[in-house]
Structure 1
Amino acid sequence: MANNSDIKRRDFVKTAGAVGAAAAAAARIQGAPAIQKVKAANNQVQYGMIGTGGRGQYLLRHLNSIDGGRCLAVCDIYRPNLEAAIKTSKDKPKGYLDYRELLARTDIDAVLIAVPLYLHFPITRDALLAGKHVFCEKSLVFKPEEVHALRALASSRPKQVLQVGLQRRYSKFYQTAKQMIEKGMLGNVTHVYAQWHRNPGWRMRQSPDPKRQREWNWRLFREFSGGLTAELASHQIDVATWMFGAEPEFVVGVGSLDTMKDGRDVYDNIQLIFNYPGGRKLMYSAISTNKHLSLFQGTRTEFGEVIMGTEGTIEITVGTDDEPAIGLWFYEPGPPKVEKAAGVKEKPVIAGATLATTGRGQIGLPILFERDLVTGKESFLARELKYARLWLYKRGIMVPEEDRNPVDVELDEFFQCCRTGARPKADLQVGLADSTAVILSNLAMDEGRRVYFSEIEKMGRTPEAKGRKA
Structure 2
Amino acid sequence: MEEEKEINNRKEDKDSSANEFSQGRRDALKVIATVPVLGAMAYGVYRKKKAENTNRNAAEMFRFGSKVAPYSPTSSGAQVIRVGIIGFGIRGTQLMQGLGFATPEYVENLIEQSRINSANTRYQDFVEQEDLRVEITAVCDIFDTYAEAAVNAGANIHREGVGGTLGSKPRRYRHYKELLAAPDVDAVVIASPDHWHGTMAMDALRAGKHVYLEKPMTWTVPETYELRSLSRSNPHLVFQLGHQNRQIEAYERARQIIEKGLLGRISLIETGTNRNDPNGAWVYPIHKDANPKTIDWKQFEGDPDRIKEYMDYMTSAGLSGYVGPESRDKFSLERFFRWRCWWDYSTGLSGDLLTHEYDAMNQILHLGIPSSASSSGGVYFFKDGRTVPDVLQTVFEFKQRELTMLYSATLASQFSRSRKIMGHDATMEVGNTLTVTVDPRSEQYRTQIEQGVVKPGEPFYTYIPGQSVDAVSTATERYFAERGLLYSFISGKRYNTTFLHLKEWLECIRNGTQPSCSIDQGFEEAITAHMGTRAYLEGRTMYWDKDKEQITRE
Query: TM over 0.5: same fold?
Result: yes
- What is the aligned partner in structure 2 of residue 292 from structure 1? 415
Distance in 1, Cα, partners of 2:446 & 2:494: 43
Give, in angstroms, the shift of residue 53 of structure 1: 0.6
2:203 maps to 1:126:
yes
2:530 maps to 1:431:
no
- Offset from partner CA, 1:242-263 (integer Å, 9 cap, x none): 3332321111111211111111
- What is the aligned partner in structure 2 of residue 209 from structure 1? 291
- What is the aligned partner in structure 2 of residue 70 from structure 1? 135
- What is the aligned partner in structure 2 of residue 59 from structure 1? 95
The change in CA–CA distance for 1:401 and 1:260 in structure 2 (over 3 A counts) is farther
Aligned pairs (5 A) from 1:244-255: 244-247=365-368, 248-255=370-377
Contact 1:120 1:142 in 2 (8 A): yes
Unaligned 5+ runs, structure 2? 1-75, 101-128, 158-168, 293-330, 448-454, 466-489
- What is the aligned partner in structure 2 of residue 467 from structure 1? none
Aligned pairs (5 A) from 1:178-193: 178-193=255-270
Contact 1:74 1:93 in 2 (8 A): yes
Of 282, 302, 305, 2:419 maps to 305
Contact 2:282 2:338 in 1 (8 A): no
Moved over 6 A (4+): none
- Offset from partner CA, 1:42-80 (integer Å, 9 cap, x none): 412111111111111111112113423222121111111
Aligned pairs (5 A) from 1:67-466: 67-89=132-154, 90-91=156-157, 92-200=169-277, 201-203=281-283, 205-206=285-286, 208-209=290-291, 211-213=331-333, 214-247=335-368, 248-276=370-398, 277-294=400-417, 304-317=418-431, 325-332=432-439, 334=442, 361-363=457-459, 365-367=461-463, 401=492, 403-454=494-545, 457-458=549-550
Contact 1:172 1:402 in 2 (8 A): no
Distance in 2, Cα, partners of 1:119 & 1:41: 35
Give, in angstroms, the shift of residue 412 of structure 1: 0.4
Distance in 2, Cα, partners of 1:221 & 1:149: 24
Contact 2:542 2:551 in 1 (8 A): no
Specify the code of the residue in structure 1 equivalent to 2:291.
D
Give, in angstroms, the shift of residue 143 of structure 1: 0.4
Distance in 1, Cα, partners of 2:196 & 2:464: 40
Distance in 2, Cα, partners of 1:452 & 1:410: 32
TM norm structure 2: 0.60
Contact 2:98 2:496 in 1 (8 A): no
Distance in 2, Cα, partners of 1:289 & 1:132: 41
Q: Report SS of the residue matched to 2:459.
A: coil
Give, in angstroms, the shift of residue 459 of structure 1: 6.2
Aligned-pair RMSD on alpha carbons?
2.6
Unaligned 5+ runs, structure 1? 1-39, 295-303, 318-324, 339-358, 370-398, 461-470
The change in CA–CA distance for 1:282 and 1:212 in structure 2 (over 3 A counts) is same
Give, in angstroms, the shift of residue 159 of structure 1: 1.0
Distance in 1, Cα, partners of 2:518 & 2:386: 32
TM norm structure 1: 0.71
Specify the code of the residue in structure 2 equivalent to 1:114.
A
Identity of aligned residues (%): 31
Give, in angstroms, the shift of residue 155 of structure 1: 1.6
- Offset from partner CA, 1:325-356 (integer Å, 9 cap, x none): 22222234625869xxxxxxxxxxxxxxxxxx
